[in-house]
Structure 1
Amino acid sequence: MRRTRSSTSDAFQRLAGSALPEWSVVEGAACERRLRPGEALFLAGERKPFVFVVNEGIVKMVYETPNGDSWVKGFAESGVCFASVAALEEDGLTSFSSYAVVESCIHQIDYRVLLRLAGQHIAWQRAIANALKFYGQRKERREMELLTLSPEDRYIRFMHDNPELVAALRQSDIASYIRVTPVALSRIKSRLGKQGDQ
């Protein structure tokens, strides 16, 4: 997989659609995290009132059940910012865990710093509003796929929409994301392979 690198300023400026004032405040509040493959960025149930920006690598977000099952909620690639929305509330806790898929570099920024900037500057208000809008759009699409598409159709769509991401993922992560077992995913791939041979 080709390694791409982005910057925190690029990610926020894309959200704002313009340059952002007082960027030095964000730089001063940002903490760089470097993770090895499989290393946790955070675990469910932690106080993490932060926005995370993936500058390099891939992070997977995972819901984990008390009986040990886990399901991939989504992925964040280079140039994408994300957060546990539940953890951004006062005294909130993260509702999912996140792990590096490959070696990753992530900036961690205190959400309260971003809110203060949004209270002073329209461009920062726009950046945060767009981040929440895009989050809502992704969430709605994810719900639609899970509720209306067959596992096979979910797999086809995921492969079509994420060719570069797929190259870095384990099959178990893809299976978890489309909500099937690895064995069921193997059967889906076998069926699709046979159809392609006809």
Structure 2
Amino acid sequence: MKAKSSETAYDLIFQNVARFIDLTDEEKDLFKSLLKGGSARRKEFVMRPGKVALYEYFVTKGCLKVYSIDRNGVEHVSMFAIEDFWTGDMASFMLERPCTYFIKALEDSEFLMISKESFERLFREIPKFERFYRNLYQRSLVSYIERTNQGISLTAEERYEIFLSKYPHIANRIKQKDLAAYLGITPEFLSMIRSKMSKR
């Protein structure tokens, strides 16, 4: 299902890139030409495990859930991607090996996509994009390390408080079971935490 990529969507991705590098009008035109528009209705899958990830995604509208399912059928949410977020399976995309994640739309969503071929052309023709993606990946790695450390050293309540502090604009857009899967707890335990916090 293809989305109608509006100028607002391109403005959003240009603003995202501008946090790290400045682009000329000509460079913006090239970048724009390498992007494809896509969309997914609520509950529709954008990506499933087993195939090589063909694109990296920049969300311009809606909310995507990135998750895996273990051998016991338990869901583990890695991230929620809303407007102005990049997402995908980086290892699959870069190394061209089968992906291990599902990406599912929690809301009707739209995004801009870049393929590996376009990604490499971008690096060749606009070398400063390497700096942009290096910053992007470094932030992703730092976020992953922080979450891993939090899972080891913090209580579920502390992890929940950090999520609310860091992503207050996401908390009211996702279901309790999805947030619980992100925190690594059951929905029932999350209800207990919320009840306890509401009585403070």
**TM-score range with shorter-chain normalisation?**
0.7 to 0.9
Which residue in 2 is equivalent to 1:177?
182
Which residue in 2 is equivalent to 1:53?
58
Cα-to-partner distance string for 1:90-124 (whole Å, 9 max, x where unaligned)? 43121211111211111111023122221343321
Spell out the pairing of 1:68-83 with structure 2 (5 A cutoff): 68-83=73-88
1:161 paired with 2:156, answer no
Equivalent residues of 2:56, 2:86 under 8 A apart: yes
Cα-to-partner distance string for 1:109-165 (whole Å, 9 max, x where unaligned)? 102312222134332111111111111111111112111110111111112222111
- The alpha-carbon distance between structure 1 residues 18 and 110, as it changes in their structure 2 partners (threshold 3 A), is same
Equivalent residues of 1:56, 1:106 under 8 A apart: yes
Counterpart Cα distance in 2 of 1:83 and 1:189: 30
Match of 1:148 among 153, 158, 161: 153
Aligned residue pair count: 191
SS in 2 for 1:169: coil
Equivalent residues of 1:26, 1:109 under 8 A apart: no
Cα-to-partner distance string for 1:19-48 (whole Å, 9 max, x where unaligned)? 165333333332212112221110122211
1:114 paired with 2:114, answer no
SS in 2 for 1:7: helix
Spell out the pairing of 1:78-89 with structure 2 (5 A cutoff): 78-89=83-94
Counterpart Cα distance in 1 of 2:150 and 2:172: 22
Q: Name the aligned partner's letter for residue 21 of structure 2.
A: G
In structure 1, list runs of 5 or more residues that go unmatched.
Answer: none
SS in 1 for 2:56: strand
1:39 paired with 2:48, answer no
Q: Name the aligned partner's letter for residue 62 of structure 1.
A: Y
Counterpart Cα distance in 2 of 1:156 and 1:111: 37
- The alpha-carbon distance between structure 1 residues 17 and 25, as it changes in their structure 2 partners (threshold 3 A), is closer
1:19 paired with 2:23, answer yes
SS in 1 for 2:128: helix
Q: Name the aligned partner's letter for residue 132 of structure 1.
A: Y
In structure 2, list runs of 5 or more residues that go unmatched.
Answer: 1-7
Percent identity over the alignment is 21
Equivalent residues of 1:40, 1:98 under 8 A apart: yes
Q: Name the aligned partner's letter for residue 179 of structure 2.
A: I
Equivalent residues of 1:47, 1:87 under 8 A apart: yes
TM-score normalized by the length of structure 1: 0.87
TM-score normalized by the length of structure 2: 0.86
Counterpart Cα distance in 2 of 1:34 and 1:18: 28
Which residue in 2 is equivalent to 1:65?
70
RMSD in angstroms over aligned alpha carbons?
2.0
Counterpart Cα distance in 2 of 1:91 and 1:34: 23
Which residue in 2 is equivalent to 1:93?
98
